[in-house]
Each structure stands twice: as structure tokens, then as C-alpha cells.
Structure 1
Amino acid sequence: MHGVLPSTAMLSPPPLLTARGLVKTYGRSRAVDGVDLDIPERAFTTFLGPSGCGKTTILRMIAGFERPDSGSLVLDGRSLIDVPPERRPVNTVFQNYALFPHLTVFENVAFSLTLRRRSPDPAPKVLRALETVHMAEFADRYPYQLSGGQQQRVAVARAMVAEPHLLLLDEPLSALDRKMRSHLQIELKDLQKRLGIAFVYVTHDQEEAFALSDIVVVMNRGRIVQRADPATLYARPANGFVADFIGSATLVPGTLTTVDARDGMAAIETSLGIINAPVIEGVASGDAALLVLRPEHMALCAEVRDRRSPVEWQGTVRHVVYQGNTYLVEAECAGIILRLTAQIPPGLGETVAIGLDPGRAFITRVGA
């Protein structure tokens, strides 16, 4: 009797990079605290978190610039622990680009191949790399003759010319103005798709992480707090830290009164009343929890008179901030400051009716 082959739809490729139990300590401070992680092939993965959370330390351990105190790093089935940086199939784009000022654009990119002794004649590969980042016409210029965005493209070309299995990027857009950053985010994402190689990116900017990433790894205090696609992180944060760090949210503390694991709903008792909403897995009745309310979950009832909200509160307007196409309104209700968007700004001190669609809210854990 012939065995049944598993469906190809059920098979997932092995991860490109696997980390298990990574630890790195500086003095009494544990920068990376027992991290387990899988980086998939051909994906754009971003480490996101506040300064000092350990994201750059992990990047440096993958690159070989830092050695883990304990744990394993395996790339393409091969341990990286005893492999020096120049022998790893990994390249890094640094925050300051690290271009050699005395070398031309062509020479900066060719240096990567010279260092690794990859090609006796680097010209064809260098020109292909520069064409990929649309910098071939600047091959004879020096870094000081380039804009910040152009220097960033040269740094990417230098990193990719040696055909690494993995490209690491350490906040490469942080020195650029907002408009240039937005433009280069689109270019980087497009470049990653065209190259078909894995990018691992480090940033503390949530908007940047969401714009670029297939997978976002949120870190805090040396640990991974949540790993998910951007939409899941925003709509289903694993705990209060993620909910607060990702986007704008009001976190309302309360206690779970009932949890229905079958339909993923729960009732939470708060100072705003008892609210039924979707809930994260692994919690039980009696647990302390947080009701996560995003600005778009709520609206001024005066702006939606055609439908009555399942939940309505009375609040007093404390602040109104103009945001271009909308206004951000902060209204106090039962001691809680609710943040919501409005098309027409209410007056300061005005009493307003606030409507909530609880199906769009979310209940998550308290801890970090």
C-alpha cells in the first residue's frame, strides 16, 4: 500500500536563519535575554522596539560583530557561532552607510568583492548592482557629491553585490528627512522583492516597520514580545506593551468576567462599563486585562446619526489636535482619556456622545 504524500500546501520551507536561546550580557545588563527566532527566506523581517531593547545587538550577532554568551545561530543549516564576519554569507547596511570618502561609488561597491576575493574582474557585478539601485550613472562620483538618499542606495549596492543570503539593515534611513524616508521605504521594499533575498531590518519607527515588513518582531527588555505580520500586530496585540507601542491606543484596565474560547470573545468589566469584545487566547475569567481602543474604533455620535452605536458614552472634550484631513479628539469619560478621530472639531469643554463598535476593539493581557 502506497503512503499518502502530504499536500504541498501544508508544507512550509525551513527557515533561512534559526536562533535558539540567544543571550548577550554587558556587565550587569542583559541586552538579549534568551531569544528564539526563525527568519524565513525571501521575507522582509523587521526588529521593532524602543532604544536599548536588544534589536541592534541581535543584528550584530547575526553579522558576527558580537559573539553570543550562549545560544545558537544557524544559517542555511550551518552554525554561525565560530564563523568570522567576513566569511558569513551576510552583509550589513549601517546607519551611517560607512562609505569610504576617498573612493568613488564604483570603488566603494567593488570593495566588497575585493575584500571577499569573489571576482577577479568585479566590473560586471558592480555595474549590475549599481543599475539595480539606479546609481550606475553616478559610478565615478565620490560620496560627498551624493545626497543622503543616493548614499543609502550605494550602501545597499555594496552590501548586495557579493550576493549574500541575508541582508542586514541597521536603521539606514534614520538620518534622512521624512519625505526622503517615505520615498526610500518604497524603493527598499521594491528592491527586496526584485532581489528575492531576505532582509532583516532594525528600526524604532513603527510606521517604517509597517510600511516595509512582511514580519515584525517587537522587542522589549531583551526579549521578543510578539512576532507577526503588521495587520495582526495592530489589531491583535499580544499585551499592553505592544498595544501601546504600536499606533495610538487607549488602554482601559479591567477584569475579565467571562471568556468564551470557542468564539474568541470575552466580557471585561471596566470603569466604562462591561464591554464584550474579541479577546487574546490563553486568558481566563478573573484575569486582569486591558481593553484596547484605537481612535478608529470610536466616533462622535453626532457624525454618525444614521446608525446607533452598540456602546455609547458621554465625555468631556479636553484636547483637539488638527491632523490635516481629520482631527484627533481627546475626551475624558469616567476618568479615562479616549482618543478618537473626527471630521468636525468639537469645542474644548464640550460634552459629546462617543460611540464604540466593540467588535473592532480588542482585549489583551496586561503584562509586557
Structure 2
Amino acid sequence: MSRTIALRDVSKRYGRESYAVERVSLTVEPGEFLVLLGPSGCGKSTVLRMIAGLEDITEGELYLDGEYANHVPPRERDIAMVFQSFALYPNMTSRANIGFPLRLRDPATDHEPQIEATARMLAIEDLLDRYPGQLSGGERQRVAMGRALSRHPSVFLMDEPLSSLDAKLRGHLRAEIARLTEELGVTTVYVTHDQAEVMSLGHRVAVMRGGVLQQVSSPRDAYALPSNVFVAAFIGTPRISLLEAVVHAPLDAGMSLDLGGQRLALPEPLSIDHQLLRIQQGRPVVVGLRSETVRIAPPSQARPGEVAMRGIVEHVEYQGHEALVHVNTGSRPAVVADLESARPPAAPGHRRRPHGNSLGPLGRRVMGRLSGAVATLEPPQSSSAGDAGVDPDRRGVRSDLVVRTGPQVRVRAGAQVPLLVDLAQLYVFDHAGRRICPAPDGLPDLEE
């Protein structure tokens, strides 16, 4: 039987220190698989532990199936947890580890049939009489999952259970977890910082930063429609290229994005999303381009909505089925350290710790790696033939754009390449980091 989990303005604070989690409101429906995603230290594991009852809730309310549960003891919540560290008893066999919670709950009953059934579900029947020290990492994690599954909990909590395993085994166990949770229909909350797990496991993803919930949506929407620049930068491999720009929208001419010496002209007639950029006239914005929106091709092969540009190849990552080409377009890097405020507006009378309008140290490191600029390159005014379109002063500066290509495209470091950008997949964020293009939900339909 699955349960509903509801958090209402839940916060966690340790002593007089700043909030580890602040005003998180979230509902997990029965049978849903929700992934909590975010960088280390963002508060996702703390949220999980508050649901389990392993951490007290400083402020706010927790409801399980509509019943107030802040002070319900952990053993009475019918919740099972799987940890990153496996947490198996080293002096017990796999059989004893799986059966431990069953014996604890009902010592007089023979639990062997239930243990055997759980082992068959996880394909570990031949490991039941081995001790944890005799098992591999993947086998120990299966036993840990079996211990959690054996008593048929109504809620399943997983705290980065695959992070200590090798890549091949992680992929295999991801598929196993997806199959098991689908079969059992148990409500699951899964904590991770691995985007592959988000995309392959979750019905919904909740992105956190600095203890604050940033976005709750399907994994597809979190990737395609990030609510702010942090979500855009955190989700996606390789990470999105973020580019500084200023909007120019004169009434008597076409709209363009000034990227510092070069301009990206938006094609006429303007799409509805691009029309919304007019209100940003003269204001700084951040443009985002994902690797699949740019391709290596000459201007003669441009499709409708694509704009030509050039760049110098800095580095090529060959990955077998594809290649990631890191390009220096010679454009001005974006300054994004104070781009986004993570905190929601304070309710009247609600006191908060000071936080400013900064992304914080982690955000600055992330954005520092992503800074860059992309533009439609005009014919060079003064450069050598080999460096057309690239400012000589930018030579040697790290790449500002990543292009995803097929393995058949062969380029070398130092070569100039022609690029085509699909403007239909252009992201634009305002000075506060909020997405303004594509248009946020809730805006009026301009065609009506």
C-alpha cells in the first residue's frame, strides 16, 4: 500500500546557524517516484531524513496520508530507507540482514518464505548465505535493497544508493530499481546529484539549491523549460552554455541581442517568445544554448531559423557514439555571479536570514565554468584568414560553446569551423535569473 507525502513550508535549522532547508512545500502522490536533485549540501538528504523521522522539523508540517506526522516516531511511519553506505550488519549473512526488520517486528513468525521471495525478486538467491565482506559493491546494495523491500513498506526512501558503484553497475541497478518500484507501486523519494538517474527513474524531479526548492516538474520539462538559470545550468550534459547579452529592440528595426561587439539578429517575423523580449530593451540578459542547438555546417546549409557563426576549436571529446566540440567564438564572457536569487519572496512577518542576491560559492564556480558568449559573426574587419571572426585578444581563452556532433564529424584543435545556431531553441534569462524565453507558464496568449 502506497502513501501520500506532503510537506508544508518545512524548514530545518541547526541551532542558531542558517537554514539547511527553508520553506519546502512538496506533495508526493501514492505510487509516485520523485527525485530530489541538487548539488552537495543543498539540503536534499535533510529533506529525506525529515520525512523518515531521523531529523526533527524546525518549522512547517509533514503529513502522511493526510495525517499530521511531525512527531510520529520513525518506526511507526512504515518507511524503509536505502543509504549510500549500504549499512549492512557485517556479522550477519545476507539472509539475516534481509530478515532483520521482519524479526524485529514479529520475532515469533517464520520469515523464510518472505526472505526467499525478496531474494528472487532481486536475483540474489545464491548470495543469501554469504556475509557482506564476501560480496561486491553491487551485491551489497542489492542486499540492502532487499532488507528495505522485505517488509513491504508504504514509502521507500533512497539516499544516493548508487553513487559508490562503478558506471556500468549503476546503469544496471538503475534499470532494476525502475522495474521494482513500478512493480511494487510503492511511493518512492530518491536523492541524487546524478542527472542520468533523474532522467531514467523519476516521474517528477524537484531541483534544490541552498536549501530552497527551485523547480518541481517532469524531468523532460526541467530540461526543456528550466524555471531559472540555475536549473538550466545544473540539468543537462554537457552543461548549457550561458552567454551575456543586451537586448536591442528599436521600433523601426529588427530585434537583436548585443553580445559585445557582435549581434545576434532574431529572424523576422518574430515568434511570440521573441516578441516578449521587447520589454527587456536595453537591459542585460543571459542567453543559453544547449549543445544540440548548434551544429557544424556552412551557412549555405542553413535551415529556416538558423543563424551562421564561426569559432576556433579548442578541444574535442570523442565519446564513441558522438563527439563534443568545445569552441571559442571570441565573444564576451558572461558575468553571472549575482545573476539569481534562490530565495522566494518572504511572507509578511516571516523573518529570514540574510542571503543577498548571490548564487553562492558553488553557483559562482558553476557559472564560471559556463560563462561565454555566442553571436552571429559578421565578416572580420581585421584578422588573419585562419582566425576569421575571432578577436585575437581572445586566442588561448577557454571555449565558450559546446557543440554536440556525430562521430563522423572530424575536426582538430585550432581549426576554424562554421556553425549554425537554431534560434527556435534559444533560452533567455532576465537579470534576476528567471526564464523569459521560452515564455513562462501563465502568460497571456498573444495570438488571441
TM-score when scaled to structure 2? 0.72
Match among 281, 290, 297 for residue 293 of structure 2:
297
Counterpart check, 1:367 vs 2:355: no
**Deviations 1:207-260 (CA, angstroms, capped at 9, x unpaired):** 2221211111110000111111111111111111111111121112335567xx
Counterpart-to-counterpart distance in 2, 1:303 and 1:187: 46
Deviates more, 1:117-126 or 1:25-34: 117-126
Change in CA separation of 1:143 and 1:305 when aligned onto 2, cut-off 3 Å: same
Question: In structure 1, what is the equivalent of residue 159 of structure 2?
Answer: 170
Change in CA separation of 1:239 and 1:160 when aligned onto 2, cut-off 3 Å: same
Match among 17, 22, 31 for residue 5 of structure 2:
17
> What displacement does 1:16 show?
1.0
Counterpart-to-counterpart distance in 1, 2:319 and 2:5: 41
Question: In structure 2, what is the equivalent of residue 251 of structure 1?
Answer: 242
Counterpart-to-counterpart distance in 2, 1:117 and 1:355: 66
Counterpart-to-counterpart distance in 1, 2:243 and 2:79: 44
Contact 1:24 1:33 in 2 (8 A): yes
Counterpart-to-counterpart distance in 2, 1:207 and 1:311: 31
Matches within 5 A, 1:314-329: 314-329=310-325
Matches within 5 A, 1:123-134: 123-134=112-123
Contact 1:21 1:35 in 2 (8 A): yes
Deviates more, 1:218-227 or 1:337-346: 337-346
Matches within 5 A, 1:1-368: 16-26=4-14, 27-117=16-106, 120-247=109-236, 248-255=239-246, 269-271=257-259, 272-275=263-266, 285-286=279-280, 288-302=284-298, 305=301, 307=303, 310-333=306-329, 334-335=331-332, 336=373, 337-343=400-406, 344-365=409-430, 366-367=432-433
Counterpart-to-counterpart distance in 2, 1:256 and 1:116: 65
Counterpart-to-counterpart distance in 1, 2:256 and 2:122: 51
**Deviations 1:137-182 (CA, angstroms, capped at 9, x unpaired):** 3222211222211111111111122221110001111111111111
Counterpart-to-counterpart distance in 2, 1:323 and 1:289: 33
Paired amino acid for 1:295: S
Change in CA separation of 1:190 and 1:245 when aligned onto 2, cut-off 3 Å: same
**Deviations 1:27-47 (CA, angstroms, capped at 9, x unpaired):** 422110110001122121111
**Deviations 1:182-203 (CA, angstroms, capped at 9, x unpaired):** 1111111111111111111111
Paired amino acid for 1:285: I
Deviates more, 1:249-258 or 1:224-233: 249-258
**What count of residue pairs does the alignment treat as equivalent?**
346
Counterpart-to-counterpart distance in 2, 1:170 and 1:246: 19
Contact 1:279 1:363 in 2 (8 A): no
SS for the counterpart of 2:86 is: coil
Paired amino acid for 2:131: Y
Counterpart-to-counterpart distance in 1, 2:85 and 2:3: 30
SS for the counterpart of 2:425 is: coil
Paired amino acid for 2:47: I
| Larger strand fraction of residues | 1
Unaligned segments of structure 1, at least 5 residues? 1-13, 259-266
Counterpart-to-counterpart distance in 1, 2:272 and 2:49: 38
Change in CA separation of 1:270 and 1:123 when aligned onto 2, cut-off 3 Å: farther
Change in CA separation of 1:41 and 1:268 when aligned onto 2, cut-off 3 Å: farther
Change in CA separation of 1:116 and 1:277 when aligned onto 2, cut-off 3 Å: farther
Paired amino acid for 1:341: R
Paired amino acid for 2:279: S
Paired amino acid for 2:45: T
SS for the counterpart of 2:308 is: strand
CA RMSD of aligned residues (A): 2.6
TM-score when scaled to structure 1? 0.86
Counterpart-to-counterpart distance in 1, 2:107 and 2:287: 55
Counterpart-to-counterpart distance in 2, 1:175 and 1:278: 46
Counterpart-to-counterpart distance in 2, 1:299 and 1:309: 13
